[in-house]
């Protein structure tokens, strides 16, 4: 199979999740929607159901969600609600609603209230602790994940066992490993993996069934690994932000010979950095996995008087061989906005140029972004 044909397979999944949802349902499977961030998807898999990530949409316009939201909320959350209300997600058997940012807190209530009012589906509430690592924090995560587990059992109609969860952890560790490998190979081979294709491959992972996805990705990775060393002559950058999956926007990178060496994006690498223990108590393993997450704008840093996250991202740029960083600033995203000055400080300190692109999922005109990216590419090529 040609590389292009492989990319087409991932694109088909990435750009048409509704079709996959219909197929899962037609095959008699139960499907659970999973909202950002850090929901223990492994539990959905362990319950014998299919998890599908819901990170907004690049093709929808906010209309019905206005009944619940004022305008100053991130479009990812608003468009997720839109799709819950407009029928796009009606086939879901349930949805997990984490609450780790200030938009998701009240949105968890809007999801629950509206889904109950329309008799659409149960919502599963999830509150993560900000003290992730001390024993009391780990225990709280286990307690919360146990609630999620129990609610999933109800929807599945049977109880998942610890063994089911251990098996799910193994599946997800392989999934994350394949994704990490792909991110690395895509960074090494921009001549073969465009920014648009890179994103589609990663995005498809939210919708495809994990074992099938991992298998296909490993095949792609093997082909990429076998390629001769890259002779590509554009500029490499690192992307950062919550999400940057709009193919129209990403094509601007490709058109300007700008490649993504690696990323610090919540929708991409921030969720795949840490694996879970495959032995021992599987609920504690999942709690520890969350505890080991780090360098994220959404997570409390106990060493708060240091600039660990900023320095981590600056190092990521240096180690990846990229020349600069492009920050996709999701409009109305407080956590990302709050961490920007210190990210900037670390980047400036390390001599790494960057640009900040304000984006949201209802943007259709990327003229300004195109000018900024083009100018940045010119600066970096000098």
Binding residues for other proteins (CB under 8 A): 67-70, 72-73, 99-103, 105-110, 112-114, 125, 127-131, 134-137, 139-140, 143-144, 297, 300-302, 304-307, 329, 331-332, 334-335, 337-342, 344
Shorter beta-carbon distance to other proteins: residue 64 or 251: 64
Q: Which of 274, 232, 230, 249 is nearest to 326 (CA)?
A: 249
Q: Which of 125, 50, 121 is nearest to 85 (CA)?
A: 121
Kindly state the smallest distance separating residue 136's Cβ from other proteins, in Å: 4
Kindly state the smallest distance separating residue 99's Cβ from other proteins, in Å: 4
Shorter beta-carbon distance to other proteins: residue 77 or 316: 77
Shorter beta-carbon distance to other proteins: residue 312 or 340: 340
What is the Cα–Cα distance from 145 to 128, expressed in whole angstroms? 9
Kindly state the smallest distance separating residue 289's Cβ from other proteins, in Å: 18
Kindly state the smallest distance separating residue 149's Cβ from other proteins, in Å: 14
Kindly state the smallest distance separating residue 361's Cβ from other proteins, in Å: 16
Kindly state the smallest distance separating residue 364's Cβ from other proteins, in Å: 21
Shorter beta-carbon distance to other proteins: residue 71 or 233: 71
Shorter beta-carbon distance to other proteins: residue 164 or 360: 360
Kindly state the smallest distance separating residue 330's Cβ from other proteins, in Å: 10
What is the SS3 assignment for the chain? CCHHHHHHHHHHHHHCHHHHHHHHHHCCCCEEEECCCCCCHHHHHHCCCEEEECCCCCCCCCCHHHHCCCCCCCHHHHHHHHHHHCCCCCCCCEEEEECCCCCHHHHHHHHHHHHHHCCCCCEEEECCCCCCCCHHHHHHHHHHHHHHHHHHHHHHCCCCCHHHHHHHHHHHHHHHHHHHHHHHHHHHCCCCCCHHHHHHHHHHCCCCCHHHHHHHHHHHHHHHHCCCCCCCCCEEEEEEECCCCCHHHHHHHHHCCEEEEEEEECCCHHHCCCCCCCCCCHHHHHHHHHHCCCCCCCCCCCCCCCCHHHHHHHHHHHHHCCCEEEEEEECCCHHHHHHHHHHHHHHHHCCCCEEEEEECCCCCCCHHHHHHHHHHHHHHHC
Dihedral class, residue 147 (left if φ above 0, else alpha if ψ from -120 to 50, else beta): alpha
Kindly state the smallest distance separating residue 206's Cβ from other proteins, in Å: 24
Shorter beta-carbon distance to other proteins: residue 178 or 242: 242
Shorter beta-carbon distance to other proteins: residue 116 or 225: 116
Shorter beta-carbon distance to other proteins: residue 143 or 278: 143
Kindly state the smallest distance separating residue 123's Cβ from other proteins, in Å: 9
Q: Judge if the upstream peptide bond of residue 275 is cis by omega within 30 degrees of 0.
A: no
Shorter beta-carbon distance to other proteins: residue 56 or 247: 56
Shorter beta-carbon distance to other proteins: residue 110 or 194: 110
Kindly state the smallest distance separating residue 183's Cβ from other proteins, in Å: 26
What is the Cα–Cα distance from 316 to 346, expressed in whole angstroms? 12
User: Do 140 and 129 contact (CB within 8 A), yes or no?
Assistant: yes
């Amino acid at each position: 199979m040609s590389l292009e044909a492989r990319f087409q397979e991932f694109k088909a999944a990435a750009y048409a999740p509704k079709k996959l949802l219909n197929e899962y349902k037609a095959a008699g499977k139960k499907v659970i929607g999973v909202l950002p961030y850090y929901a223990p998807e492994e539990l959905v898999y362990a319950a014998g159901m299919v998890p599908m990530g819901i990170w907004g949409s690049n093709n929808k316009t906010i209309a019905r969600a206005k009944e619940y939201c004022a305008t100053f909320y991130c479009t990812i959350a608003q468009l997720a609600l839109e799709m819950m209300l407009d029928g796009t997600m009606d086939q879901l058997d349930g949805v997990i609603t984490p609450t780790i940012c200030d938009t998701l807190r009240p949105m968890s209530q809007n999801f629950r209230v509206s889904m109950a009012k329309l008799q659409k589906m149960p919502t599963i509430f999830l509150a993560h602790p900000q003290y992730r690592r001390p024993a009391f924090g780990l225990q709280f995560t286990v307690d919360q994940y146990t609630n999620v587990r129990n609610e999933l059992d109800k929807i599945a109609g049977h109880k998942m066992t610890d063994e089911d969860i251990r098996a799910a952890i193994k599946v997800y560790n392989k999934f994350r490993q394949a994704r990490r490998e792909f991110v690395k190979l895509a960074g090494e081979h921009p001549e073969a993996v465009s920014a648009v294709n890179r994103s589609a491959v990663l995005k498809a992972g939210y919708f495809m069934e994990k074992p099938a996805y991992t298998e296909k990705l490993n095949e792609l990775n093997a082909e990429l690994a076998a390629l001769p060393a890259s002779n590509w002559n554009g500029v490499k950058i690192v992307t950062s932000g919550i999400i940057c999956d709009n193919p129209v926007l990403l094509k601007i990178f490709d058109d300007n010979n700008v490649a993504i060496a690696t990323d610090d994006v919540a929708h991409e690498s921030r969720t795949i950095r840490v694996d879970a223990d495959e032995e021992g108590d599987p609920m504690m393993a999942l709690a520890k996995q969350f505890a080991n997450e780090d360098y994220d704008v959404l997570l409390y840093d106990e060493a708060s008087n240091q600039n660990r996250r900023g320095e981590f991202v600056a190092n990521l740029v240096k180690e990846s061989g990229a020349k600069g960083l492009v920050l996709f600033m999701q409009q109305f995203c407080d956590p990302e906005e709050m961490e920007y000055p210190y990210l900037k400080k670390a980047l400036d300190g390390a001599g790494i140029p960057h640009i900040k692109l304000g984006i949201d999922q209802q943007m259709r005109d990327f003229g300004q972004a195109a000018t900024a990216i083009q100018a940045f590419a010119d600066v970096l090529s000098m």
